[in-house]
Structure 1
Amino acid sequence: MCYGETDGVRPGDRYTVAECKAMLARSLEGYALKLEACVTRPMADETYAAFLSLSYNIGSGGFCMSSVARLWNAGDTRAACNAMLKFNRAAGVTMPGLTRRRTHERALCLKGI
């Protein structure tokens, strides 16, 4: 529903565009707080946006335990951005849509370094 939100959404629910945008904004605030808690180095806005997008898609726990976060915190900036490309599978199957999304996120991440 909306931008992939599932929290509190029931089958048959309908939302306006404004409601969807408000729901996304509230959700992203929570993801941002968790991202900031597990990433220990400063980053450019572009890198932050790429990491937040990945976190929103794979979950905060998944992001914070990922090679992306680990490599970034270790100072291996380029490798952290490149590691985003690994998250292009669902149920073990490479998904073209996820591959495109990760390619765009990686480019945004690299733009910030």
Structure 2
Amino acid sequence: MALTEYFEGFRDSAYQDSKGVWTIGYGHTLGVHPGMVCTQEEADQWLLSDVADAANAVNLYVKPGVTQDEFDALVDFTFNVGITAFRTSTLLAKFNDNDVQGAIDEFEKWDMSGGKHIAGLLRRRNAERALFTLGADFSQESASGEVQPELEAVQ
């Protein structure tokens, strides 16, 4: 959840993402329309629901034996790319075939939106890969707002 919040950021007004999809809160898209606004509480509830949907998909499509860190990274990945893209991804196929290194290598391939490489998506994929492989802690930021050392390599 912290990883998703970190990369999505909170927006209380509807905006179009890089693909033109209307989005609000922490990356929520269902039922969003131009001019829509939300409260922090609404955004928090949508985030819980949207992350639960992604978690359910990971539980459904990933073979047993996933670690908590792998699961968390895959949930953020699924939240961001969508359930269908996750379900049909080479990343999932390789992981389910026990090609863990092959799956790890797939994260960075998902850095495009609207046909363009996006630096922010590459940072997110690197963070997911770090969590997946190293169990990096994305739950805390220092009081000064500086990112924990585990995140420095992906910023």
TM-score by length of 1: 0.92
Q: Kindly indicate whether residue 71 of structure 2 is the aligned counterpart of residue 34 of structure 1.
A: no
Partner deviation per Cα, 1:79-112 (whole Å, 9 max, x = no partner): 2122111000112211111111111111111125
Classify the secondary structure of the residue corresponding to 1:52. helix
Partner residue, 1:2: 25
CA drift at 1:44:
1.3
Gap regions ≥5 residues in structure 1:
none
Structure 2 partner of 1:75: 98
Structure 1 residue 57 and structure 2 residue 83: aligned?
no
Residue 27 (structure 1) shift? 1.2
| Match status 1:103 vs 2:154 | no
Task: Tell me the matched-pair count.
Answer: 112
1:20-55 Cα deviation digits (max 9, x unpaired) = 011110111112112211111321111111111111
Higher helix share: 1
C-alpha distance in 1 between matches for 2:32 and 2:115: 27
* The structure with more strand, counted as a fraction of residues: 2
Question: 1:80-91 residue pairs with structure 2 within 5 A?
Answer: 80-91=103-114
Instruction: Output the CA distance in 1 between the equivalents of 2:87 and 2:64.
Output: 13
- Provide the rounded CA distance (Å) in 2 between the counterparts of 1:74 and 1:99: 25
Q: Runs ≥4 in structure 1, deviation > 6 angstroms?
A: none
Tell me the amino acid that sits aligned with residue 72 of structure 1.
F
Contact 2:54-2:79 within 8 A present in 1 as well: yes
Secondary structure class of the residue paired with 2:25: coil
Identity percentage of aligned residues: 29
Instruction: Give the TM-score normalised by structure 2.
Output: 0.68
Structure 2, unaligned runs of 5 or more: 1-23, 136-155
Higher RCO structure (Cα 8 Å, ≥6 apart): 1
